[in-house]
A and B are shown apart, each in its own frame.
Chain A
Amino acid sequence: MISAPDVVAFTREEELEDDLYREPPLPEEYSVPLFPFAGQGANPWAKVAGSKFTRDFILISEFSEQVGPQPLLTIPDDAKVSGTFDLNYFSLRIMSVDYQASFVGHPPGSAYPKLNFVEDSKVVLGDSKEGAFAYVHHLTLYDLEARGFVRPFCMAYISADEHKIMQQFQELSTEFSKASECLKTGNRKAFANELEKKLKDLDYTRTVLHNETEQQKKANDKGYYTTQAIEKANELASVEKSIIEHQDLLRQIRSYPYRKLKDSEFHPYEPECALERAGVGSDQDPAASDPAEPGETHLYTHVPSYTPKLIKAKSAKCFDKKLKTLEELCDVYFFTQTLDQLHHIERTFRGDVCYLLTEQISRALLKQQSVTNFLFEDVSFLDEKPPEKQYRGCQGLGQGAMDEKCLEESLAPKVVISLGSYKSSVECVPIKMEQEMEDSEEPKMAESVMSEHQENLDYLDADIKGSISSGESIEVLGTEKSGSGLTKSESQASLPVMPSPQAGRSKVGSRRTVSEDSIEVLSTCPSEALIPEDFKASYPSAINEEPYADDDEGGLRFTPRANLADDGQDDVSKQESLVQVDAACCIGKESPNFLEPLPELGQKPCEEDGVVRIPPQPYRAEQGLRGGFPSHEGLSAGLLPYELDSRYLSGSREVSKSSLDECSDSTSYISSAASTCSDRTPSPAHLGSAAGERHRKRAGQNALRFIRQYPFAHPAIYSLLSGRTLVVLGEDEAMVKKLVTALSIFVPSCGVYAKPVKHWVTSPLHLVDFQKWKLIGLQRAVSPAGVNVLHALSRYSRYLSILDADSKTLRCPLYKGAVVARLADHRTQIKRGSTYYMHVQSILTQLCSKAFLFAFCHHLHLPISEREPEESVVHRRMNFLKLQLGLANEDVKIVQYLAELLKLHYIQEPGQGGNPLLRFDYVPSFLYKI
Chain B
Amino acid sequence: MLRWLIGGGREPQGLAEKSSVQTIGEEQIQNPYTELLVLKGHQDIVRFLVQIDDCRFASAGDDGIIFLWNAQTGEKLYELHGHTQKITAIAPFSSSDGTEERNDLIITASADRTVIIWDCASGRQVQKVSCLHSTVKCLTVLQRLNVWLSGGSDLCVWNGKLDLLCKTSHLTDAGVSALVELPKNCVAAAVGKELIIFRLSASNNGSEGWNILEVKRLVDHEDNISSLVSVNDLTFVTGSHIGELIVWDALDWTKQASECNFWDSSVHPDVQPEIKLSQSPHETSVQHLASDEECVFAAVGKGIYVYNLQMKRVIACQRAAHDSSVLHIEKLPNRQLISCSEDGSVRIWELREKQQLPAEPVPTGFFNMWGFGRANKQANQAAKKMHENTPVYFLELVGDLIGHSSAVQMFLYFGELGLATCSADHLIILWKDGERESSLRSLTLFKKLAQNGDLQLKL
Residues of A near any B CB (own CB < 8 A)? 634-635, 637-639, 729, 766-768, 771, 787, 790-798, 802, 804, 807, 809, 811, 855-856, 858, 861-862, 896, 900, 903-904, 906-907, 915-925, 927
Instruction: Check if B10 sits within 8 Å of A795, measured CB to CB.
Output: yes
Contact (A861, B10) CB under 8 Å given A635-B457, A792-B405, A920-B34: no
Complex contacts, A793 vs chain B, CB 8 Å: 6
B25 cross-chain contacts in A, Cβ below 8 A: 924
Which one of B27, B403, B437 contacts A767 once the chains associate, using CB atoms below 8 Å?
B403
Q: Which residues between 3 and 51 of chain B lie within 8 Å of chain A, taking CB atoms?
A: 3, 5-10, 25-29, 31, 34-40
- The CA of A904 and the CA of B73, in the complex, are separated in Å by 12
Query: Is B6 a contact partner of A861 (Cβ separation < 8 A)?
Result: no
How far is it, in angstroms, between the C-alpha of A634 and the C-alpha of B454 when the chains are bound? 8
Q: Whole-angstrom distance between the alpha carbons of A797 and B403 in the complex? A: 11
Q: Which of A767, A795, A811, A858 contacts B38 (CB 8 A)?
A: A767
Cβ A791 vs Cβ B7 within 8 A: yes
Q: How far is the CA of A807 from the CA of B7 in the complex (A)?
A: 13
Among candidates A792, A804, A861, A921, residue contacting B5 with C-beta atoms closer than 8 Å: A804
Closest Cβ of chain A to B361, distance in Å, is 27
Which 5 A-B pairs have CB atoms at the shortest separation, nearest pair first? A861-B442, A638-B457, A922-B28, A638-B454, A634-B458
- Does B446 have its Cβ within 8 Å of any Cβ on chain A? yes
**Residues B2 and A903 in contact, CB atoms below 8 Å apart:** no
For window 398-453 of chain B, which residues contact chain A by CB distance below 8 Å? 399, 402-405, 427, 429, 434, 437-439, 441-446, 448-449, 452-453
Chain B residues lying within 8 Å of A639, measured Cβ to Cβ, are 452, 454
Bound complex: CA A924 to CA B28 (Å): 9
Q: Does B99 contact A (CB under 8 A)?
A: no
Given contacts A862-B442, A900-B441, contact A906 B457 (CB under 8 A): no
Pair A798/B402 contact, Cβ less than 8 Å = yes
Q: Given A794-B6, A807-B5, A861-B446, answer yes or no on A638-B458 (Cβ-Cβ < 8 Å).
A: yes
Answer yes or no: B301 CB below 8 A from chain A CBs: no
Which of B6, B434, B444: most chain A Cβ within 10 A? B6
Residues of B within 8 A of A794 (CB): 2-3, 6-10
Say whether B434 contacts A919, CB under 8 Å.
yes
Q: Contact: A798 with B26, CB < 8 Å?
A: yes
Check A811–B443 contact: CB distance below 8 A.
no
Q: Is the Cβ of A922 less than 8 Å from the Cβ of B31?
A: yes
| Other-chain contact of A907, B402, B441, B453, B458 (Cβ < 8 Å) | B441
The answer to whether B74 touches A904, judged by C-beta atoms less than 8 angstroms apart, is no
Residues of the A chain whose Cβ atoms lie less than 8 Å from the Cβ of B443: 861-862
Kindly supply a per-residue 1/0 record for chain B positions 230-261, scoring 1 wherever the CB is within 8 Å of any chain A CB and 0 otherwise.
00000000000000000000000000000000
B36 touches A918 (CB 8 A): yes
Judge whether B457 and A918 touch: CB under 8 Å. no
Q: Does B1 contact A (CB under 8 A)?
A: yes
Identify which of A790, A904, A907, A925 gathers the most chain B CB atoms within 10 Å of its CB. A907
The contact sample of 22 A-B pairs, CB cut-off 8 A, is A634-B457, A638-B456, A767-B404, A767-B429, A771-B38, A790-B7, A794-B10, A797-B2, A804-B6, A807-B5, A856-B445, A903-B438, A903-B444, A906-B445, A906-B448, A907-B448, A915-B75, A917-B35, A917-B437, A919-B434, A923-B26, A925-B2
CB B225 to nearest CB in A, in angstroms, measures: 35
A165–B122 alpha-carbon span in the complex (Å): 66
* Residues 69-83 (chain B) with a chain A CB within 8 angstroms: 73-75
Q: Is the CB of B6 within 8 A of A802?
A: yes
* Cα(A638)–Cα(B75), bound, Å: 30
Beta-carbon contact of A766 and B3 below 8 Å:
no
Contact with B444, one of A767, A907, A915, A916 (Cβ below 8 angstroms): A907
Is B446's CB under 8 angstroms from A922's CB? Answer: no
Contacts of A862 in B (CB 8 A): 442-443, 446
Bound together, the chains give a CA A787 to CA B6 distance in angstroms of 9
The complex places the Cα of A807 from the Cα of B2 at a distance, in Å, of 11
- The CA-CA distance from A773 to B395 in the complex, in Å, is 37
Residue of A nearest to B403 (CB): A767
Nearest opposing residue in chain B for A905, CB measure: B445
B29 touches A922 (CB 8 A): yes
Chain B contacts for A796, CB-based, 8 A: 402
With contact pairs A798-B26, A923-B27 given, residues A787 and B445 touching in the complex (Cβ less than 8 Å): no
In the complex formed, the residue of A with least CB distance to B36 is: A918
Cα separation A856 to B404 with both chains bound (whole Å): 35
Nearest to B444 among chain A residues (CB) is: A907
**Complex-state Cα separation, A637 to B453, whole angstroms:** 11
Cβ-defined contact, B441 with A904, below 8 A = yes
CA distance A919 to B38 in the complex (A): 12
Residues of chain B with a CB closer than 8 A to A900's CB: 438, 441
- Residues of chain B with a CB closer than 8 A to A920's CB: 34-36, 434
Tell me the bound Cα distance from A861 to B75 in angstroms: 25
Do A922 and B26 touch across chains, with their CB atoms under 8 A apart? yes
Q: How far is the CB of A918 from chain B (nearest CB, A)?
A: 5
Instruction: Select the residue from B31, B74, B403, B456 with max chain A CB neighbours within 10 A.
Output: B403
B438 and A922 contacting across the interface, CB-CB below 8 Å: no
Q: Verify A918–B8 contact, CB threshold 8 A.
A: no
Which residue from chain A places its CB closest to the CB of B25 in the assembled complex?
Answer: A924
Flag if B8 contacts A795 (CB, 8 Å): no
Q: Give chain B nearest CB distance to A91 CB in angstroms.
A: 55
B402 touches A918 (CB 8 A): no
Provide the residues of chain B in CB contact with A856, threshold 8 Å: 445, 449
Complex alpha-carbon distance, A811 and B441, angstroms: 31
Which residues of the partner chain A approach B441 to less than 8 Å between Cβ atoms?
A: 900, 903-904, 907
Q: Give every chain A residue within 8 A of B458 (Cβ-Cβ).
A: 634-635, 638
Interchain nearest-CB distance for A814 vs B (Å): 11
Measured in the bound complex, the distance between the Cα atoms of B23 and A926 in whole Å is 18
User: Which chain B residues lie closer than 8 Å to A768 at the CB level?
Assistant: 38, 40, 427
Per the bound structure, the CA–CA distance linking A638 and B454 in Å amounts to 5
Whether the pair A802, B2 counts as a contact (CB closer than 8 A) is yes
Complex Cα distance, B3 from A896, in Å, reads 31
For chain B, residues 234 to 291, give those with C-beta under 8 angstroms from any C-beta of chain A: none
CB closest residue in chain A, given B450: A858
Q: A811 — which chain B residues lie within 8 A by C-beta?
A: 1-2, 5
Q: Are A790 and B26 in contact (CB under 8 A)?
A: no
In the complex formed, the residue of A with least CB distance to B24 is A922
Contacts of A925 in B (CB 8 A): 2, 26
In the bound complex, do residue A921 and residue B34 qualify as a contact, i.e. CB atoms below 8 Å apart?
Answer: yes
For B28, what are the chain A residues with a Cβ–Cβ distance below 8 Å? Answer: 922
CA distance A639 to B438 in the complex (A): 22
CA distance A793 to B7 in the complex (A): 10
Minimum C-beta distance from B336 to chain A (A): 16
List residues of chain B with CB within 8 A of the CB of A921: 34
Contacts known (A639-B454, A915-B37); A922 close to B399, Cβ less than 8 A: yes
Given A767-B38, A861-B443, A917-B37, check contact A787 B7 (CB 8 Å).
Answer: yes
Give Cα A900–Cα B40 distance, bound, in whole angstroms.
Answer: 23
Known interface pairs A635-B457, A794-B10. Does A927 touch B34 (Cβ–Cβ under 8 Å)? no
In the complex, what's the smallest C-beta–C-beta distance from A630 to chain B, in angstroms?
A: 10
From B5, B7, B27, B74, A915 is in contact (CB under 8 Å) with B74
Contact A855 B445 (CB under 8 A): yes
Q: Which residue of A lies closest to B458 (CB)?
A: A634
Q: Beyond the given A807-B5, A922-B28, could you list 10 further A-B residue pairs with CB under 8 A, ordered by the A residue number?
A: A787-B7, A794-B9, A797-B26, A802-B2, A811-B1, A896-B438, A915-B37, A915-B74, A921-B34, A927-B1
Q: Could you give, for residues 339-380 of chain B, a 1 whenever the CB lies within 8 Å of some chain A CB and a 0 otherwise?
A: 000000000000000000000000000000000000000000
Cα A389 to Cα B79 with chains together (Å): 41
Given A639-B452, A918-B36, A922-B399: A766 in contact with B405 (beta carbons within 8 A) = yes
Residues in chain B near residue A915, CB distance under 8 A: 37-39, 73-75
**Cα separation A790 to B38 with both chains bound (whole Å):** 22
Distance to closest chain B CB from A929 (angstroms)? 9
B229 to chain A, nearest CB (A): 31
Cα distance, A16 to B40, chains bound together (Å): 46
Residues of A within 8 A of B452 (CB): 638-639
**B29: which A residues are within 8 A, CB to CB?**
922
CA distance A906 to B445 in the complex (A): 7
Cα–Cα distance between A804 and B4 once the two chains are bound (Å): 12
